[in-house]
Structure 1
Amino acid sequence: MKNINWNNKEEVLEEVKKDGSKLILASKELKNDFDVVMEAVKNFSWCIEDAGEKARDNRDIIKEVLKKNSTYIEYASDRLRDDDEIMGIALEKDHWNLRFASDRIKDNKDLLMSLIKKCSGVVKYASPRLQNDIDIIKECIKEYGTRIFEQL
Structure 2
Amino acid sequence: MCWLASLFNLWNYRPFVLLAVQRSVDALGYATDFQKDGEIVKFAVEHCGYALQFASEEITKDREIVLAAVKSKGCSLEFASEELKSDREIVMEAVKQNGWALENASEESRNDRKIVMLAVEQYGKVLEFASDELKNDREIVMTAVKRDYQARMYASEELAVDREVVLTAVKQSGCYFKLAFAQ
Q: Give the structure-2-normalised TM-score.
A: 0.67
Q: Give the structure-1-normalised TM-score.
A: 0.79
Distance in 1 (CA, whole Å) between partners of 2:113 and 2:86 is 14
Partner of 1:147: 178
Give the partner amino acid of 2:83.
K
Indicate the structure (1 or 2) with the bigger Cα radius of gyration: 2
Matched, 1:71 2:97: no
Partner of 1:28, secondary structure, is coil
Percent sequence identity over aligned pairs? 29
Q: Relative CO higher for 1 or 2, CA cutoff 8 Å, sep ≥ 6?
A: 1
Q: Which moved more, 1:90-99 or 1:139-148?
A: 139-148
Aligned positions of 1:2-151 closer than 5 A = 2-3=11-12, 4-132=33-161, 136-137=162-163, 139-141=165-167, 144=170, 146-149=177-180
After TM superposition, give the deviation of residue 6 of structure 1 in Å: 2.2
Q: Which runs of 5+ in 1 are unaligned?
A: none
Distance in 1 (CA, whole Å) between partners of 2:156 and 2:182 is 16
After TM superposition, give the deviation of residue 116 of structure 1 in Å: 4.1
Task: Judge conservation of contact 1:140–1:148 (CA < 8 Å) in 2.
Answer: no
Per-residue displacement from partner, 1:6-45 (whole Å, max 9, x unpaired)? 2232332233334432212212121121111112223233
Give the partner amino acid of 1:140.
V
When the two structures are aligned, how many residues end up with a matched partner?
149
